[in-house]
Amino acid sequence: MNFQIVGCSHHTSSLQLREQLAFSPDDTRLALRQLREQFPQSEAVLLSTCNRVELYTGSTDGELCPSPREITEFIADFHGLSAVQLFTELFDHSGEEAVQHLFATAASLDSMVVGEPQILAQVKHAYEMATGDNCTGPLTHGVFQAAMRVAKRVASETTIHQRRTSIASVAINDFSSQFFDRYDDKNILVIGAGEIGSETLQYLLDQGAKDITVINRNWDRAQALAENIGRSQHHRWQATAQPWEQLDKLLVAADLVVSTTGATEPIVSVEQFEKLHPLRHQRTLLILDLAVPRDFDPAIADFLGVYLYSIDDLQGVCQENRQAREREWPKAQQIIHDEAVRFMADARHRSISPWIHQLKTQADSQKEKELLRLFNKLQQLDEPTRDEIRQAFDRLTNKLLHPPLESLRHDITQGGQHGLLDALKRLFQLRD
Amino acid sequence: MSALTNITSWLSHVSETCFTACYILVLVLEVSRLFFRIAVRHALILLVTSAGLFAHIVWFCLSTRTPETTPLASWYGWCMLIALAIAFVYLLVRIRYPDKSVGLFLLPLVLALIAAALLFLRNQEPFVTDAILSFWSILHLSALLIGSIAATLGFAAGIMYLVQSFRLKRKLPPRQGLLLPNLERLQWYNYVLLTTSTGLLAIGLLAGIIRKASLLAISESDIPWDPMVVISSGILLLWLIITGLFEYFYKPARQGRKVAYLTVTSFLILGAVMALVFTTQHAVNLNKSNSASQVSSREGNV
């Protein structure tokens, strides 16, 4: 049995290389077909996401599996790149290490944003696509199904997935979600066209926000941000840029405000907000003031129905989440390790079971022949005596086979380093 | 046949203790969420709550043998029925939102209602039987009962809103084990429950007045006018009218903390009115208890 992975990820390769090696869904199907033609006995699954390109191959008969070098050459040929360059850029793992890598990837421990839930769906999709193209087999079925089970176990037994660490993700996923049930009917105002504002917008879009207004002192930058994110192909939403003079009117209409300007003084004072507050009819307003120095006067938080969070409030949770994640990390890794060891042990036991069966059948056959010969000679024996003799032969055979089989199982559990399976095959003349 | 008899015989042992114990156990499990994680807790909570509900329903079925013992026929049955409805709502919410700590707010209400029923109402006589069987009586009782359930749930939603709002105002970080529904959802629950309870309680009170007036018209009067009942019902009706007008004309009353304050206040006024009405023995079949006491005094004389 051999299971291996060749690929690259955000940990090991530049974005440029990952872009060069990326496979579109059509490319993936084509690559799998070509791989099957080139290595018909090998099973394969190709996982290609923004952050990783990984080709998993395996075979229940290790000798029929392509080598990492052959896989690297295949990837290079497919993309029209130099294989020599890729040898230093791609990583490869095999056996238990490859299984652990897949488990960690599916459980989102290897992701850029640890705990992001999309990766499990991507792994599942890659596996289903390979299965649809008849590229999977008993080994890949087993290891990918185990990976999905392990990912769910990590998610349910640790809190690692619940702990976000970036300001923008904490702002939306940890804080904003405590206010709003849905975002598609919310009026969202983004003040400032900075980087954090843009990142926060991405999280809002992921949550289904549709009605977003961007406002900035520099009208061109506001329009650029609105258009830039509006071009996103993944979201159906509408962003509009408004002139700075509309700020008060927009604050009255807003449900959620994300403010990220570089202003040195607050852009909204208490006096200014006091005039706007009655027009809001005490409707809930969440203000995420992510600017330093702050854009909103802290006293605005005292108004009824207004919830004002500054970057310091969010940073506390980010820090706490980071520490909590660090505490949970060893637990998650232990789950991955234990499951990989168990999977490999089960897989190895499954791989030797045909040989054990053959050995036992062979021994039973010899035993039956000897019994037949004996009973033909001693025909005067009554049935109880014959039963006793049969049981004695059974015990003898079992006692003779037990120690070598136990040693074999132990050796296989340890990775088969002592080659006992080969020895057994040769000693007892076992054949495929 | 004998299996059915065995099951019936076994079920006949179901008492208030069975479902009360289940609800207490579920509350303990809910409280334990604040301190540590257990993988099987959610399943255990669902199992024990379902068992409690089953026992509660069986107990009701076994108690309902005559019109006098229907759940609507006594204060005791009323309390137990409201507790059952809230426990059922809790189970549904727990299935839909397994990570939310709604049980910490609903289960104490369930247990408080059961405790009130067991401690104060158990030996109360049922309502006047004739009073239960007319259309207006059924409307009066049913609307008040469902309105009370909505008001009780609204109270829990209002408290949850105020707790969540308090936490968020003070920027307390989300705590593992004490997760509440978001403000928007709680506000919606509050609004819907306040509107429902206001409407139903008003219908219930008006149905009671119409029933009484119709009986007076034909010179029949089984339940006397009691000044305390009239005054307390009037206060409740006035409060409901004010709430309705407040909601309709004053926009902030439909959202935020104001709607939560309204639901909480509605429940408290309802509770106070119910307590007052209860002390007057309103609708209770006093003849039965009088005759029972006369019998016991006669036995004592003998």
User: pLDDT tens digits, residue range A356-383?
Assistant: 888 999 999 999 999 999 999 988 889 9
Q: Is the pLDDT of residue B292 over 60?
A: no
Interval B224-253 mean pLDDT: 74
Residues from chain A that touch B169, judged by Cβ atoms under 8 A, are 301, 307
Residues from chain A that touch B168, judged by Cβ atoms under 8 A, are 178-179, 307
Q: Taking the model in full, what pTM does it have?
A: 0.64
Q: Which residue of B has its CA nearest to A171?
A: B173
CB contact under 8 A, A178 and B168: yes
Whether the Cβ atoms of residue A349 and residue A191 lie closer than 8 Å to each other: no
A315 at interface of B, judged by CB pairs closer than 8 A: no
CATH 3.30.460.30 residue ranges of chain A are 2-162
Residues from chain A that touch B251, judged by Cβ atoms under 8 A, are 281
Residues from chain A that touch B255, judged by Cβ atoms under 8 A, are 281-284, 305
According to DSSP, residue B38 is labeled -
Q: B224 pLDDT band (50/70/90 cuts)?
A: low
A177 at interface of B, judged by CB pairs closer than 8 A: yes
Q: Residue B183 is encoded by which pair of tokens? A: 């403000």
> Could you give the percent of chain B with pLDDT greater than 70?
76
Rounded to two decimals, the ipTM of the complex is: 0.75
pLDDT in tens, B251-264: 666 667 777 788 78
Taking residue A213's Cβ as centre, other Cβ atoms within 10 Å add up to: 21
Helix (H), strand (E), coil (C) string for A23-57: CCHHHHHHHHHHHHHHCCCCEEEEEECCCEEEEEE
CA distance linking residue A200 with residue A311, whole number of Å: 13
pLDDT in tens, B97-151: 888 889 999 999 999 999 988 887 677 666 665 555 677 878 888 888 898 898 8
CA distance linking residue B54 with residue B61, whole number of Å: 11
Confidence at residue B298, expressed as pLDDT on a 0 to 100 scale: 34
CB contact under 8 A, B185 and A174: no
Whether the Cβ atoms of residue A291 and residue A260 lie closer than 8 Å to each other: yes
Interval A296-321 mean pLDDT: 86
Q: A32 pLDDT band (50/70/90 cuts)?
A: very high
Q: Is the pLDDT of residue A255 over 90?
A: yes
Q: A102 pLDDT band (50/70/90 cuts)?
A: very high
Confidence at residue B47, expressed as pLDDT on a 0 to 100 scale: 94
Q: What are phi and psi of B63, to 5 degrees?
A: -80, -25
CA distance linking residue B94 with residue B92, whole number of Å: 5
Confidence at residue B148, expressed as pLDDT on a 0 to 100 scale: 87
pLDDT in tens, B146-205: 988 988 898 898 889 888 888 888 887 666 667 889 889 988 888 888 888 888 888 888
Q: What are phi and psi of B242, to 5 degrees?
A: -60, -45
Q: Is the pLDDT of residue A336 over 70?
A: yes
Pairs of residues, one from chain A and one from chain B, whose beta carbons lie less than 8 Å apart: 55
Class of domain A167-318: alpha beta
Whether the Cβ atoms of residue B207 and residue B143 lie closer than 8 Å to each other: yes
Q: Residue B58 is encoded by which pair of tokens? A: 């069986």
Q: B222 pLDDT band (50/70/90 cuts)?
A: low
Whether the Cβ atoms of residue A123 and residue A45 lie closer than 8 Å to each other: no
Q: Which residue of A has its CA nearest to B100?
A: A178
Q: Is A146 exposed, middle or buried (0-12, 13-18, 19+ CB in 10 A)?
A: buried
Whether the Cβ atoms of residue A150 and residue A141 lie closer than 8 Å to each other: no
- Please report where in the chains the tokens 């009780």 appear, as a residue: B152
Confidence at residue B15, expressed as pLDDT on a 0 to 100 scale: 81
Q: B27 pLDDT band (50/70/90 cuts)?
A: very high
User: A2-162: what fold?
Assistant: Beta Polymerase; domain 2 (3.30.460)
Q: B89 pLDDT band (50/70/90 cuts)?
A: very high
Interval B84-97 mean pLDDT: 93
Q: How far is CA B5 from CA B51, B56, B57, in A?
A: 21, 20, 19
